[in-house]
Amino acid sequence: MIKVNIPKGQAKERRYIINVLLSEFLGIDYEISESNKSEDITFQLENNKKIIFKDYFFSKLSTKNYSVDLIPQKIEHLESNKYCSIKNIPIVYGKNMIEDDNPNTIICHVDIFSSAFFMLTRWEESVLKNKDIHARVLAKDHLSVKFNFFHRPIVNEYLELLWGLLKAQQINQEKKERDYQLYLTHDVDYPLKWVHLGRSIKTLLADLLKRRDLSLFYKNFKCYLSSKLNVKNDPYNNFKQLIDAANSAGVKSYFFFLNGGQSQYDSRHSMNTSFMKSLYDLIHSNNHYIGIHPSYMTQDNYDLLKKEVVGLKKLTPSFHPFGRQHFLRFKVPTTWQNWHDCQLSWSSTMGFSDRIGFRSGVCYAHSTFNIQTRKMLSVKERPLIAMDVSMGVWQNFNNLDTVLNEYSQLVTTVKKYKGDFVFLWHNSYQDQNVCTDSTAVFKRFLNVSL
């Protein structure tokens, strides 16, 4: 068993990130002790060989608390080294230096633990002030976007380095085996396009008065009538096709249902209609999953979140306690705390709304941490890697090969680390003017993801 010694300062934060990297990700045993001898983290292996991880962050946190000036202004990269094969790993905290003159003690200046803590807790997002109209931190302000490493799961890269260092010191444990896993997820914002009369009239009037497009009006009116004659004709009612595609590929689908909300961004459809009941049955009978898609205002509203979770549980016995925030609206750390308090098991909200990549710098599900209460939470985050909206599938339909190419590069990266590739495809995000068979396009992404 590895003996890990940490300073007493910020011990809760260090214990959390050490637990995630060593126990959850690598699956290795360790025991931890605290002392005031050093500001660094020391690993002592069974053979008495040591690795010292120099601290470049936690000791500053104790006096300053989380603030913008703790976010690095520049990023160094780790040069080629004998411990891992990944080139130029971005170093959030620390220096491009590994001292190994003494074979019994390696001193690593890449502050793996502070850097991983930065990425996973997302404390950065709690101190950045610029927000978009949905109160989300602008992607361009994220450190990973500023320094162009958002397409790299840098925490997985740190893990490779950490494992390489442990192997160099002849660790006598094996790391845990993992398998690549595709998570096919669908946020059901609108189960049907023509779900209720008021919204249908609004759409049709907007074609005439706002868009002034007579042919679009006729097209939509025809679509409205045929959908009312037979709900199978509703363009958003493509659940059977999505399920058939997942079944053929042998993967599970996760349908996250919006169940409430009164904002203009919530669809306000009834969840208790015969159509919805048959939809729950369809998903359940095919052994796929139903989860929650908490509405627009839930990001910092525990009571509303609880009401929506309890409500969906009552509607369908096949409810599972996982899902994703609507519009990816998320407040660090309140939203995770509320999910934890509602006894939800995992969220998959940590994805970019306007690009694909690694918002948390990782492709593994991990325990979360409340930076205010300084407690580890039982709710896990399984980061969202790519979604149809953030790739602009329909806007870029003429360049779909380019979009698919970028997407498949991310799949390859996640496969390399045997991680979870979380993909989001909306049943209701489509452009019938560009393509009348959205399922065929979905299948192209699905095939690349397998």
Contacts with Zn ion, residue ranges (CB under 5 A): 187, 189, 326
Nearer to Zn ion, 187 or 234 (CB): 187
Strand partners, 107: 52, 99
Nearer to Zn ion, 302 or 429 (CB): 429
Nearer to Zn ion, 40 or 187 (CB): 187
Instruction: Tell me the closest approach of the beta carbon of residue 260 to Zn ion, in angstroms.
Output: 12
Instruction: Tell me the closest approach of the beta carbon of residue 191 to Zn ion, in angstroms.
Output: 12
φ/ψ region of 238 (left if φ > 0, alpha if ψ in -120 to 50, else beta) reads alpha
User: Would you call 56 helix, strand, or coil by DSSP?
Assistant: coil
Across 209-279, the runs of DSSP E, i.e. the strands, are 253-257
Instruction: Tell me the closest approach of the beta carbon of residue 259 to Zn ion, in angstroms.
Output: 12
Instruction: Tell me the closest approach of the beta carbon of residue 327 to Zn ion, in angstroms.
Output: 6
Amino acid at 234: D
Nearer to Zn ion, 116 or 389 (CB): 389
Q: What is the DSSP letter of 232?
A: G
**DSSP one-letter string for 293-317:** ---GGGGG-HHHHHHHHHHHHHH-T
Helix (H) or strand (E) holding 53: strand 50-53
Instruction: Tell me the closest approach of the beta carbon of residue 111 to Zn ion, in angstroms.
Output: 36
- The tokens describing 137, both together, are 């931190």
Nearer to Zn ion, 72 or 191 (CB): 191
Residues 6+ apart with CB under 8 A from 295: 258, 259, 260, 261, 263, 266, 304, 308, 326
Amino acid at 221: F
User: Would you call 374 helix, strand, or coil by DSSP?
Assistant: coil
Burial class from Cβ neighbours inside 10 Å (0-12, 13-18, 19+) for residue 215 reads exposed
Rg over CA atoms, the chain = 24
Nearer to Zn ion, 40 or 266 (CB): 266
Residue in 106, 2, 105 with CA at minimum distance from that of residue 44: 2
Instruction: Tell me the closest approach of the beta carbon of residue 426 to Zn ion, in angstroms.
Output: 7
**Residue whose beta carbon is closest to Zn ion:** 326
Instruction: Tell me the closest approach of the beta carbon of residue 293 to Zn ion, in angstroms.
Output: 6
The position carrying tokens 């509607």 is 315
Instruction: Tell me the closest approach of the beta carbon of residue 156 to Zn ion, in angstroms.
Output: 27
Distance of CA 256 to the CA centre of its chain: 14
Nearer to Zn ion, 76 or 189 (CB): 189
Instruction: Tell me the closest approach of the beta carbon of residue 187 to Zn ion, in angstroms.
Output: 4
Nearer to Zn ion, 157 or 388 (CB): 388
- In this structure, the number of other CB atoms found within 10 A of the CB of residue 371 comes to 21
Instruction: Tell me the closest approach of the beta carbon of residue 72 to Zn ion, in angstroms.
Output: 33
What distance, in Å, lies between the first and last C-alpha atoms of the chain? Answer: 37
Q: What is the dihedral of CA 84, 90, 95, 98, to 10 degrees?
A: 0
Nearer to Zn ion, 292 or 377 (CB): 292
Nearer to Zn ion, 186 or 380 (CB): 186
User: Are 361 and 340 spatial neighbours (Cβ–Cβ below 8 Å)?
Assistant: no
